[in-house]
Structure 1
Amino acid sequence: MGLAERRKALGYSQEKFAHALGVDRTTVGRWERRETQPAPEQRPGIARVLGMGLSELDALLTPPQADRPESAASPMNPPHGPGEIDDMIRREFLRLLAVTGALTALEADTADAIAESADRGSVDDFHSMNGHLWQVYQLARSKRSVSAVVQDQLVALNDALKSSPSRYTDSLCTAASDLFQLAGELAFDENRYMDAAAAYTLAASASTQARSFDLWACALVRQSYVDLYAHRFAEAADTLEVARRVAARGDSSLSTRYWVASVQAEAFANLGNLDACERALDEAQEVAHLPTPAHNAGWLRFDGSRLSEERGARYVQLGRLDLAEDALKRALGSGALKSGMSFRRRGVVLADLAAIGAKRRDAEQVVTYGSEALRLARQSGSGYVARRLQTLRADLGTLGQDRRVAELDAEIGVLCTT
């Protein structure tokens, strides 16, 4: 039974089902045709309306293998176009990892050594280009604008893996893990969670092959975010514990283990564990004692500069609104946020302050901060800020009787469905 059949069996038309979920009817149509998947934050509501658990809903939304021909569009085999990670490249890359593992066990002969000297420059070029793409991604107001260049780099790297001599396979696997983490970030920012999960899984596999522990731990951290946004907090905490153990074997001069701790704090906050959350935040704060630079501004960018706003967000999740508001207002007044260099960061802080207003039943605070966060989400095209605003909607409750709050709620709904 598919989503449409379950909906009909319960007596819902598409219009009534969409109204119960607060989405547009066309959105339901796309889910039922498997053109798109519901976002993680929408799934608890869908499961509730359909009278099933989240695991049952996941099974309902995942078609049997026999019903998923390779030529069909689906979340794991999306239609080609700007911003899509090519499924063929993912499958080919998995095969190349297996071949690469065999090649590394073979002894290179003299002819290989000569070829390697000629190819070394191209290997370095991949690392340089990846670093450049991370910088472009970080500065781009619309992350989607980077997608086409990243996909071109994936194709080029695939070709290099096919023809590379064995001695440089570790270096190419490192470059591949780096690039697949960036591809996953692009997919995650566009709410394509299954694509993001696939990219992060490939990144973890490639960094394992290269024995690059910091890169490996970062791939696991990014993988945990998929579970966090699917409200699978215990699973995210499990993944992060593995990431912590991997990071402990990495470079102690890098900030990897402190980034792991900061994300563990988010998982613990969602699990309602205040003590574990504060211990993780305090551990993350130790990044301030590292020599600079403690990160590479690419796949690892954690420097602790956002810990004030992250601490505020964690206190919001734990219901400690007094502590949360103080931390978030300090973050909002910091130089990095006041300069306007990161619309995404500022938008998230504003959305969290609006959420505090909603929990306090303060319509003025909701409208003041929520409207500004909405403006930044539109201007930047950030799916991350949009998701935080979607979470805000669930807290509005009776505040929706206020005309200004109702208008904000409707505008966020339009943003999230488009």
Structure 2
Amino acid sequence: MAGRRRRLAARRKALGYSQDDLAELLGVATSTVARWEAGADPRGWVLPKLVLALKLTPEALADLLAPEAVPQVLPAAPAAGLPPGDTDEMKRRDVLSLLAVTGALISLPEIGNPAPGDGTAASLAETGSELNASLWRVFSLSDSKQAVYPVVRHQLGLFARALQESQSSASRRRLCLLVGDLYQLAGEIFFDANRYADAAHCYTLAVSACREAGEFDMWACALTRHAFVELYESRFSAAAPMLSAAAQVAERGDSQLSTRYWVAAVQAEAYAGLGDFEATNRALDTAEQVHGLSGKLHNGGWLRFDGSRLAEERGTCYLALGRPDLAELALTAALTQPLSLRRRGAVLAELAALGAERRDLDKAGHYVRAALDLAGQTGSGYVGRKLEGVKTRLVPLMSDSRALALHQHISALDSVA
């Protein structure tokens, strides 16, 4: 994080704005303005609004946002969430260390002398499931997915401590189940921040913990989330065997849950990336069978698939397969459904990519601007990653000033993400 921006604060005050006033004018939280003045970088979508609000030229705003060196005797306290810079690297090392310890305790539970414990294991066995479910709900409803990270990290530390206590086999399996659950959520937080290597580490540990717990559905979900990392790195041939394994594990799970159908939906994306139209359609048709289930299909936590996203997933697959006609039908249908801001932003980005594919830059620009606005509101790297696909499709059109401008707008989001 840059040093404190005294000149930015001074400009705000000179115009008669409080932090609350400026936040309301820009449509952001007051805490966001406070973070900018403390050194955090504003996201790309808000920069034009800042230029107007502070009555500056873009060059003058860039000067105000430049780092101001501030000597520090003591290191700054870590901020909540997943901030950039040294603090981010410290958090990464912290999580990797915790992963190593927890992984060892799961794999070799009898290593050394188990500690008598302070009751942490018993307490977590009783309350851990409810707390995990609550954290998943907060994550699902929050516009900024990183906001839940500090509580998740604290809870993961408690699980590591509990695994060191002497306990029965049944209690250990229960703890492994809870660890597998929460490490999937930790992976989702890192995945949303575009930190794919860290997400993969979390999912790997979740796979091990779920296997130890003997929880096939949760195990299959952890494998599927790990495969997502490969999909978003366009490593489709690496994702395919992982998803095949997930499908086999899911077959041993609860047939009344939607696990196997979610695996099929993700397999469709892998097949689309490999250019296999027929296999993609077969996997999508299998996923559609989720609508034939009755009762409770998912738990809202590590398993959330209910088929409501299949329209947008079809659109993503058909876009990858070079079938814009089918993609537009599916994506347009998806926009008519109630979507979270994060999901709506992703669909808008796909429609922008479709516009660029068809060389319709006016349509592409409309969807890019809408997706950028939602990416800024949510702070989601997931939407930003979808917009990266738009940039790729804009490159052949860069002789047109409209394509160049759109490319620059998306790049500006990348530079402050």
d(CA) in 2 for partners of 1:166, 1:99: 14
Structure 2 gaps, min length 5: 1-84
Structure 1 residues 260 and 253, CA, compared in 2 at 3 Å: closer, same or farther? same
What is the total number of aligned residue pairs between the two structures? 330
Partner residue, 1:91 = 100
Partner residue, 2:269 = 266
d(CA) in 1 for partners of 2:372, 2:261: 31
Which of 157, 176, 181 aligns to 1:178? It is 181
Q: What is the CA-CA distance between 1:88 and the residue it aligns to?
A: 1.8
d(CA) in 1 for partners of 2:223, 2:209: 12
- For residue 411 of structure 1, what is the amino acid of its counterpart? H
Partner residue, 1:61 = none
| Greater CA drift, 84-93 or 279-288 | 84-93
d(CA) in 2 for partners of 1:386, 1:84: 25
Partner residue, 1:207 = 210
2:159 counterpart of 1:157: yes
d(CA) in 1 for partners of 2:126, 2:281: 41
Name the % identity.
47
2:129 counterpart of 1:127: yes
Say which SS state the counterpart of residue 240 (structure 2) adopts.
Answer: helix
Q: What is the CA-CA distance between 1:90 and the residue it aligns to?
A: 0.9
2:148 counterpart of 1:146: yes
Deviations 1:369-402 (A, max 9, x none): 1110111111101101100101110101343333
Q: Is the 8 A contact 1:101 1:209 kept in 2?
A: no
Q: What is the CA-CA distance between 1:195 and the residue it aligns to?
A: 0.8
Deviations 1:300-351 (A, max 9, x none): 00000010111111111111111110111111112x13xxxx1111011111
Q: What is the CA-CA distance between 1:271 and the residue it aligns to?
A: 0.4
d(CA) in 2 for partners of 1:216, 1:394: 35
Q: What is the CA-CA distance between 1:407 and the residue it aligns to?
A: 2.0
Alignment of 1:299-318 (within 5 A): 299-318=302-321
2:327 counterpart of 1:324: yes
2:266 counterpart of 1:256: no
Structure 1 residues 133 and 318, CA, compared in 2 at 3 Å: closer, same or farther? same
Q: What is the CA-CA distance between 1:94 and the residue it aligns to?
A: 1.5
Q: Is the 8 A contact 2:264 2:287 kept in 1?
A: yes
d(CA) in 2 for partners of 1:186, 1:118: 25
d(CA) in 1 for partners of 2:352, 2:88: 35
Say which SS state the counterpart of residue 398 (structure 2) adopts.
Answer: helix
d(CA) in 1 for partners of 2:415, 2:131: 34
d(CA) in 1 for partners of 2:187, 2:234: 19
Of structures 1 and 2, the one scoring higher in RCO (CA 8 A, sep 6+) is 2
Q: CA RMSD in A?
A: 2.5
- For residue 87 of structure 1, what is the amino acid of its counterpart? L
Q: What is the CA-CA distance between 1:126 and the residue it aligns to?
A: 1.1
Alignment of 1:10-159 (within 5 A): 79-81=89-91, 86-100=95-109, 120-159=122-161
Partner residue, 1:294 = 297
Q: What is the CA-CA distance between 1:190 and the residue it aligns to?
A: 1.0
Alignment of 1:351-366 (within 5 A): 351-366=349-364
Partner residue, 2:346 = 348
Q: Is the 8 A contact 2:375 2:383 kept in 1?
A: yes
Q: What is the CA-CA distance between 1:166 and the residue it aligns to?
A: 2.3
Structure 1 gaps, min length 5: 1-74, 104-111
Structure 1 residues 366 and 173, CA, compared in 2 at 3 Å: closer, same or farther? same
Partner residue, 1:279 = 282
Say which SS state the counterpart of residue 297 (structure 2) adopts.
Answer: coil
TM-score (norm 1): 0.75
Q: What is the CA-CA distance between 1:192 and the residue it aligns to?
A: 1.2
Q: What is the CA-CA distance between 1:78 and the residue it aligns to?
A: 6.5
TM-score (norm 2): 0.75
